[in-house]
A and B are shown apart, each in its own frame.
Chain A
Amino acid sequence: MQAKSPIAHLVIHLILLAGSVVFLFPLLWMISTSLKPVEETMTIPPRWIPSEWRFDNYRKAVIYQATEPEPYQFAPGDLFNGKLRVALYQRWPFLVYGLNTLYLCLLGVLGTVLSNALIAYGFARLEWRGRDVLFALTLATMMVPFPVTMVPLYALYRSFGWIGSFKPLWVAAWFGSAFNIFLLRQFFRTIPRELSDAARVDGCSEWNIFTRLILPLSKPALAVVALFHFMYVWNDFLGPLIYLTEQRNFTLSVGLQFYQSQHGGTEWHLLMAAATMIVLPVIVLFFFTQRTFIQGIALTGMKG
Chain B
Amino acid sequence: MTKTERTNLRRGLGFISPWLIGLAVFLLYPIGASFYYSFCEYSVLQPAQWIGLANYRDLATDEVFGKSLLNTFFYAGLSLPLGLVVALALALLLNSGVRGMTIYRTIFFLPSLVPMVALAVLWMWIFNGEYGVLNYVLSWVGIKGPGWLNDPAWSKPALVLISLWGVGHAMVIYLAGLQDVPTHLYEAADLDGANWWHKIRHVTIPMVSPVILFNLIMGIIGTFQFFAVPYVMSPQGAPARSTYFFAMDLYDNAFPYLRMGYACAMAWILFVIVLLLTLLALKFAERHVHYEGG
Which residues of A pack against B, CB within 8 Å?
1-3, 8-9, 12-13, 15-16, 19-20, 23-24, 26-27, 29-30, 33, 41-46, 115, 118-119, 121-123, 126-131, 134, 137-138, 141, 143-156, 158, 172, 174-178, 181, 206, 210, 231, 234-235, 237-238, 242, 252-254, 256-257, 260-261, 264, 268, 271-272, 274-275, 278-279, 282-283, 286, 290, 294, 297-298, 300-304
Question: Would you call B70 an interface residue if the criterion is a C-beta within 8 Å of the partner chain's C-beta atoms?
Answer: no
- The 22 listed contacts between A and B (C-beta, < 8 Å) are A1-B181, A2-B96, A2-B183, A12-B93, A24-B110, A29-B122, A33-B125, A45-B136, A119-B18, A122-B15, A129-B1, A138-B19, A149-B30, A151-B33, A231-B113, A253-B115, A254-B117, A260-B232, A275-B118, A279-B114, A282-B115, A301-B211
Q: Decide if A154 touches B254 in the complex (CB within 8 Å).
A: yes
Q: Decide if A175 touches B121 in the complex (CB within 8 Å).
A: no
- A172 nearest CB across to chain B (Å): 5
Residues of B close to A46: CB separation below 8 A = 131, 133, 136
Question: Would you call B260 an interface residue if the criterion is a C-beta within 8 Å of the partner chain's C-beta atoms?
Answer: yes
Residues of B close to A3: CB separation below 8 A = 96-98, 196
Which residues of B pack against A, CB within 8 Å?
1, 5, 8-9, 11-16, 18-19, 21-23, 25-31, 33-34, 37, 42, 44, 90, 92-98, 104-111, 113-118, 120-126, 128, 130-131, 133, 136, 165, 168-169, 172-173, 175-178, 181, 183, 186, 196, 199-200, 203-204, 210-211, 213-215, 217, 221, 224-225, 227-228, 231-232, 235, 247, 250-251, 254-255, 260, 263-264, 266-268, 270-271, 274-275, 278
**Max chain B Cβ within 10 angstroms of own Cβ: one of A146, A158, A290, A304:** A304
Q: Decide if A29 touches B126 in the complex (CB within 8 Å).
A: yes
- B215 nearest CB across to chain A (Å): 7
Q: Decide if B96 touches A144 in the complex (CB within 8 Å).
A: no
Q: Decide if A256 touches B93 in the complex (CB within 8 Å).
A: no
Task: Tell me, in angstroms, the Cα distance from A90 to B114 when the chains sit together.
Answer: 28
Q: Decide if B173 touches A298 in the complex (CB within 8 Å).
A: yes
Q: Decide if A42 touches B131 in the complex (CB within 8 Å).
A: yes
Residues of B close to A237: CB separation below 8 A = 115-117, 227-228, 231-232
**Max chain B Cβ within 10 angstroms of own Cβ: one of A27, A33, A174, A274:** A27
Q: Decide if B200 touches A153 in the complex (CB within 8 Å).
A: no
Q: Decide if A172 touches B33 in the complex (CB within 8 Å).
A: no
- B111 nearest CB across to chain A (Å): 6
Task: Tell me, in angstroms, the Cα distance from A261 to B204 when the chains sit together.
Answer: 46
Residues of B close to A153: CB separation below 8 A = 26, 30
Q: Which of B11, B21, B27, B98 contacts A144 (CB 8 A)?
A: B27
Q: Decide if A256 touches B215 in the complex (CB within 8 Å).
A: no
Q: Which residue of A lies closest to B122 (CB)?
A: A30
Q: Decide if A275 touches B122 in the complex (CB within 8 Å).
A: yes
Q: Decide if B254 touches A150 in the complex (CB within 8 Å).
A: yes
Task: Tell me, in angstroms, the Cα distance from A147 to B226 when the chains sit together.
Answer: 11
A-B contact count, CB below 8 Å?
299
Residues of A close to B275: CB separation below 8 A = 143
Task: Tell me, in angstroms, the Cα distance from A146 to B121 when the chains sit together.
Answer: 25
Q: Decide if A298 touches B98 in the complex (CB within 8 Å).
A: no
Task: Tell me, in angstroms, the Cα distance from A12 to B99 when the chains sit together.
Answer: 10
Task: Tell me, in angstroms, the Cα distance from A206 to B13 when the chains sit together.
Answer: 13
Task: Tell me, in angstroms, the Cα distance from A302 to B210 when the chains sit together.
Answer: 9
Q: Decide if A29 touches B133 in the complex (CB within 8 Å).
A: yes
- B220 nearest CB across to chain A (Å): 10
- A264 nearest CB across to chain B (Å): 7
Residues of A close to B13: CB separation below 8 A = 122, 128
Q: Decide if B93 touches A278 in the complex (CB within 8 Å).
A: no
- B184 nearest CB across to chain A (Å): 12
Task: Tell me, in angstroms, the Cα distance from A141 to B27 when the chains sit together.
Answer: 8
Task: Tell me, in angstroms, the Cα distance from A147 to B264 when the chains sit together.
Answer: 8
Q: Decide if B9 touches A129 in the complex (CB within 8 Å).
A: yes
Q: Decide if A279 touches B118 in the complex (CB within 8 Å).
A: yes
Task: Tell me, in angstroms, the Cα distance from A2 to B278 when the chains sit together.
Answer: 34
Q: Decide if A302 touches B176 in the complex (CB within 8 Å).
A: yes
Q: Which residue of B lies closest to A253 (CB)?
A: B117
Q: Decide if A176 touches B11 in the complex (CB within 8 Å).
A: no
Residues of A close to B214: CB separation below 8 A = 301, 303-304
Q: Which residue of A lies closest to B183 (CB)?
A: A2
- A107 nearest CB across to chain B (Å): 15
Residues of A close to B274: CB separation below 8 A = 143, 145
